[in-house]
Amino acid sequence: MDNYFSLANLAFAIMSISGCAVGPDYTAPLAVEQIQLVQPYQQATQATRWWRAFDDAELNRLVSIALEQNRSLIKAQANVARAAAIFNDTDNDWLPKGSVDTDYQAGENTTIAATDNNVVSRGSRLGANLSWDLDLFGKIRRATEAAAANAEQAEVLWHEAQVQIISQVASSYGDYRGAQLRLQVAEKNLDNLQQTRNIVEVRLDAGFASDFELARVDAQFYAIKTMVPTLNTDLLRAKATLSALLGKAPGELNLADATPLPQLNHPVSIEDSRAYLSFRADVAAAERKLAASTADIGVVTADLYPALSVKGFLGFVSGPGLALNTANQAWSLAPTLSWQAADLGSVRAKIRAADASAKMALADFEQQVFDALNDMQLSLDTYNLSREQQLFSELQYKASTKAMIIARVRYEAGNGEFYDLLDAERTWLQSRDQLAQIQHQSFVKLVSVYRAFAGGLTI
């Protein structure tokens, strides 16, 4: 009984000195230079369905497929599981480890007895082998902190991958619809030029026009015709990109018929972009990397101090001719103290390396904050400028349409010059195609706004 009390006292004493942890305690940065971070990183893993704001059923369908089938997301999710498993393994280092073993030995030795007969010795053993690494200076604690931060970073990076993949799907969908829109515009332009050609042919038959005028109309007609293969190429490229993002082989993806590009009819303004940093998964991932790097300093610093481990056995041991029973109970306890006293220079070098890694992680985090803030502001500015450009393009299209109609009526009535009609039609055709391009770019830039704000922005 006294032996058991001695063991209990030893365990209590060991646990009482295991509460400290060397190395710096981590605190998440709340400011970068003069930039105050408001509740940073807390919303980076919240799922947002920002693409539904476009109210486009086909886009919703494509995003749903991508979230299930995109291989980059599957890889990122597997990385989350891997990091969680590593954390669980590291976290278990706090606990004693052991195994249940049984063995039987038989041996022969002719020197044991002074007889001609060999002596065969037999013995058996059954019991539990236990080992316990005591965390006197927090090495296991810091390793667990690092593993936890790495696991959280993996989860954050998974959400970051979702934001990027959804943005790519939405942008590629915009490219596809934009190419469709320009093809529709090209077809309408060809129809209008055919009408103009019919007018010129009538006037040519009546002797009021020349072959030169007809050739000029044909030149414009075929100039637009040459655009059609390029636009079809853009259509195929966008579809191929979508197929890859959705995990589809060539020819497997079916898309709905052409629909108008979703549009937002007002500019977007944000009072303070810093409030949205908490949605940025890349910022959160950089912060978690900083946390892990800080904990790693403690892991290597603990090697400056002795490490204590305890090994023991509890079970039964029998000698020759004896069976295993309660009379053969046995136990052993072997504390071991180890210290890298002869290699402290190497340990200190590892500490300097870990400290440098933490400084690198801090610099990466701060740079990520600057990148995120500028990315958000740039996305807003470029979108608002594209909206302004679209408004002017719409006014140009209306004015050029009016000018083209007047020029055609006057030419058809014999009161206008052909060159006026040709110039008015050229301007009108260009403005029509330009408006389609700007509408496409406005949509893509709006997607960039959602991406930059990680879906946290309500527009």
Per residue of the chain (459 residues), give pLDDT as tens.
455 445 445 444 555 555 578 899 998 887 787 777 765 556 666 667 888 888 899 999 999 999 999 999 999 999 999 999 999 999 998 888 877 777 666 656 555 555 555 555 566 777 778 888 888 899 999 999 999 999 999 999 999 999 999 999 999 999 999 999 999 999 999 998 999 999 999 989 988 888 999 999 999 999 999 999 999 999 999 999 999 999 999 999 999 887 888 776 666 777 777 888 888 899 999 999 999 999 999 999 999 999 998 998 887 777 665 666 666 777 888 888 889 888 999 999 999 999 999 999 999 999 999 999 999 999 999 999 999 999 999 999 999 999 999 999 999 888 889 889 999 999 999 999 999 999 999 999 999 999 998 877 766
Of the CA atoms within 13 Å of residue 255, those in its CB half-sphere come to 26
**Buried-state track 322-356, b at ≥16 Cβ within 10 A, e below 16:** eebeeebeeeeeeeeeeeeeeeeeebeebbeebbe
Q: Which residues pair with 337 in a beta bridge?
A: 308
Q: Is 109 helix (H, G, I), strand (E, B) or coil?
A: strand
CB 249 within 8 A of CB 243: yes
Nearest to 146 by CA among 268, 8, 255, 302: 302
Nearest to 287 by CA among 30, 56, 72: 30
**Residue 210 CA to its chain's centroid (Å):** 63
What pLDDT was estimated at residue 191?
93
Q: Side chain identity at 4, as an amino acid letter?
A: Y
Architecture per CATH, 22-100+135-306+343-452: Up-down Bundle (1.20)
CB 168 within 8 A of CB 245: yes
Name the burial class of residue 19, with classes exposed (0-12), middle (13-18) and buried (19+) by CB atoms within 10 angstroms of its CB: exposed
- The tokens describing 416, both together, are 């206008």
Name the burial class of residue 260, with classes exposed (0-12), middle (13-18) and buried (19+) by CB atoms within 10 angstroms of its CB: exposed
CB 18 within 8 A of CB 93: no
Helix, strand, coil in percent for the chain, rounding step 5: 65, 10, 25
Q: Which residue bears the tokens 């669980």?
A: 88
Show me where the domains of the chain are located. Answer: 22-100+135-306+343-452
- Predicted TM-score (pTM) of this structure: 0.83
CA separation for the pair 369, 17 (Å, rounded): 40
| Rounded (10°) angle between helices 139-205 and 227-245 | 160
CA separation for the pair 80, 72 (Å, rounded): 13
What pLDDT was estimated at residue 4?
43
CA separation for the pair 59, 51 (Å, rounded): 8
What pLDDT was estimated at residue 5?
43
- The tokens describing 376, both together, are 């958000």
What pLDDT was estimated at residue 42?
60
What pLDDT was estimated at residue 18?
53
**Buried-state track 231-255, b at ≥16 Cβ within 10 A, e below 16:** beebbeebbebbbbbbbbeeeebeb
